[in-house]
Structure 1
Amino acid sequence: MLKERNFNAMGIFKKDKLQIINFQSYGSATRLYVRGRAIEDENIDLDQKGIFNLMKNSWKRFETDEIKQAPLKITFSNGETVEGVTDNDGYYLIDENIAGLQKLANEEGWVNFELSFNDANLKREILLKNRFPGEMLIPSEHAKFGVISDIDDTILHTGVVSSLKWKVILNTMFKRATKRLQLEGASDFYTKLHQGKTGEEANPIFYVSHSPWNLYRYLELFLKTNNFPKGPVLLRSMASFKMRKKSDEKPQKQKEISNLLKSYPDLPFILIGDSGEKDGDIYQEISTLFPGRIKAIYLRSVNHSKRMARIEQLFSDFKDIPFLMVNKTEEAIAHAKENGFI
């Protein structure tokens, strides 16, 4: 026992502090929809330099120690509280009907709140005095449309079409988020879409990706560093990578997009993606499932002749919704102006 105490005094075998990471999500004036994860703090510095540090931090992002079945509490600025609990992977989803949320939102529609562990018997040390910040977006009443955008090779150079995805692994493992490059002019285009034709529309931007939630903070920092409009970042759990998908089951990205359109039935959307993966197929099906809801579709060109040819064939008879294959962002900006989006 004495030997164990000495080890703990030196920091060996000492348990990490607990933390709650809130994923920026979305809701409405009467719906609270909050997601995040409770895990041990691995002390990850996303801006740390050096190959060894980058590899160590990358390992920490995926080798997480989740806090299972942990009771949580959300506290709003007006003192109102809501309770929830994490699942066996440490994730939480609190989806409840609550009136008056719009009154708590700022000019851009963001509702701020605090999260905390809600277990008086918890015998672990907790970061930030058990007060963790959270945000949820309620689209502004001035919004004319929403934007749903892919991330990989749509706004962030990733290499998702490379052989065996080696560029994806290389970029994520060995490049800091603050050093990753956006596709030319992307943040300017998204800012214009966010501001809309009047400049004051506050059109909501939603970022959707097949990447795991483990990369949430990494991608959030990339978006902030490159001056993209703040918006919910919607990813997926690592467990979904291991699950065998049924033949008729839709991709997680498509499910997230469908949820957004169902959440805001009076709001039309612009869909932005790339021609390297399945964005074209997903966006076409979404436009069929939600007739009259899609204002335009933009797909970034990728350096892959077969995939480009497939997308061109896929959209050859697509006439009902404005569609543009984007080689340069200035083309998308010109198209958006012509259609009165900006």
Structure 2
Amino acid sequence: MGVFGKKDKLQIIAFQTYGTDAHLYLRGRALEDEEIDLADKGFFKLIRNTYQRFDADEIKHTPLNIKLVDGRAVSGETNDDGYYLIDLPSKDLSQLINDEGWLQYAISYSDYSLKREILHENRFPGEMMIPHEDAEFGIISDIDDTILWTGVASFLKWRAILRTFFSNVGQRIPLKGAAKLYHRLHHGKSGKAVNPIFYVSNSPWNLYRYLEFFLIKNSFPKGPILLRSLRAALTKNHDNDRPHKQHEIRNILKTYPGLSFILIGDSGEYDADIYKEIAEEYPNQILAIYLRDVGHRKRMVRVKDLFAEFDSTPVLFVENSDQLELHAKQIGLL
């Protein structure tokens, strides 16, 4: 039920995912629609929107129908938290993608006994990315303090909390030159490639729409946004930040064993440790590691010491997007 006790309409938020020609992987969440306006301004509206993002009423254990653009249909069901996951073998999915590699589908509620009005005539859009065969490389990028300044390295993360929960997403500023750089990487050395980009964050799925809106508003290339459960995000053990990103990155590398990647993160928390471990496990798939300096001297010293004797993959510590672009040109990526 909504904040003010009204009976809300239903919605399905389909997360942008990734798969292969022979594997369908779709996920999202069925919720009551709280009618959150991400462009709302004003302190009290921000408080209301923040509350609604984390107090969403999920639609549990309800059956769903998924239809692909060629008419193929599959079914699924939401779990205790309203999430759905469609993880099935398939075939010839690459024939359905557009020029940017996206397979579009429609998802709907199949339980018409739900006693409330459903938005959009019970049809919600979703997308799954399948990289083109001629992609030059892939990009796996962190979000916080890599393309969106949050201050996660600040004392007790208070700056990150204030900016994430009490700032209008339209007012959030991307790091200078990041969107332009990511488009250059997306199009590669040829300028015509469609290199896939994956955004990996430790933020909870409750912030999916918030981050999606930020990427669209600031003209970043579209790519799957990979988040984690709210329960994991709220844990006091910060080491739990690492398994989520490691799992997501490993899964991307295993899904596309013939594709090489660059890893982009920052020096603020665990990106350096995670990327070093991943590069040691998959030396033939990691082309370069780029870490932005978040302006925390002790953390940067630690990160540089971590890579002091590491020479299997090029590693560059950068202060701005121009430095990253120059290095990418020097090693032949651009």
Q: Which position in structure 2 is the counterpart of 1:38?
A: 30
Q: Residue in 1 aligned with 2:286?
A: 294
Structure 2 gap ranges (5+): none
Q: Aligned residue for 1:217? A: 209
Give 1:20 deviation, angstroms: 0.3
CA deviation map 1:193-222 (0-9, x unaligned): 000000111000000000001111110111
Whether the 8 Å contact between 2:232 and 2:240 is mirrored in structure 1 is: no
Q: In the alignment, which residue of structure 2 is the partner of 1:256?
A: 248
Distance (whole Å) between structure 2 residues aligned to residue 273 and residue 248 of structure 1:
17
- The match for 1:313 among 305, 316, 319 is 305
**Among residues 56, 62, 70, which one is paired with 1:70 in the alignment?**
62
Q: Which TM-score applies when normalising by structure 2?
A: 0.96
> Deviation at 1:155?
0.3
The 2-side partners of 1:248 and 1:51 are apart by 32
* Higher Cα Rg, which structure: 1
- Which amino acid in 2 is paired with 1:19? Q
Q: Deviations over 1:229-255 (max 9, x none)?
A: 100000001122356879899521110
1:136 alignment counterpart: 128
Which of the residues 82, 85, 99 maps onto 1:107?
Answer: 99
Which residue of structure 2 aligns with residue 149 of structure 1? 141
Find the residue that maps to 1:184 and give its secondary structure: coil
Distance 2:248 2:265 in 1: 14
Task: Normalising by structure 1, report the TM-score.
Answer: 0.94
- 1:22 counterpart letter in structure 2: A
What is the rounded CA distance, in whole Å, between the counterparts of 1:219 and 1:264 in structure 2?
Answer: 25
Deviation for aligned residue 1:79: 1.2
In structure 1, how many angstroms separate the alpha carbons of the residues matched to 2:25 and 2:4?
39
SS of equivalent to 2:199: strand
In the superposition, relative to structure 1, how do residues 260 and 219 fare at CA in structure 2: closer, same or farther (>3 Å)? same
Cα shift at 1:141 = 1.3
Structure 2 Cα separation of the partners of residues 243 and 45 of structure 1: 28
User: Are 2:303 and 1:304 aligned?
Assistant: no
TM superposition outliers: structure 1 runs of 4+ over 4 Å: 242-250
Match of 2:10 in 1: 18
Query: What secondary structure is seen at the aligned counterpart in 1 of 2:308?
Result: coil
Give the superposition deviation at 1:126.
1.0
The alpha carbon displacement at 1:13 in A equals: 4.7
Q: Distance in 2 between matches of 1:178 and 1:244?
A: 30
Give the match's secondary structure for 2:219. coil
State the SS of the aligned residue for 2:11: strand
Q: Which amino acid is 2:211 matched to?
A: L
Match of 2:222 in 1: 230
Where in structure 1 are there 5+ consecutive unaligned residues? 1-10
**How many corresponding residue pairs?**
332
- For 1:8, the equivalent position in structure 2 comes to none
Specify the SS of the correspondent of 1:251.
helix
* Whole-Å separation in 2 of the counterparts to 1:91 and 1:125: 20
Q: Does the C-alpha gap of structure 1 residues 132 and 147 become closer, same or farther in structure 2, counting only changes over 3 Å?
A: same
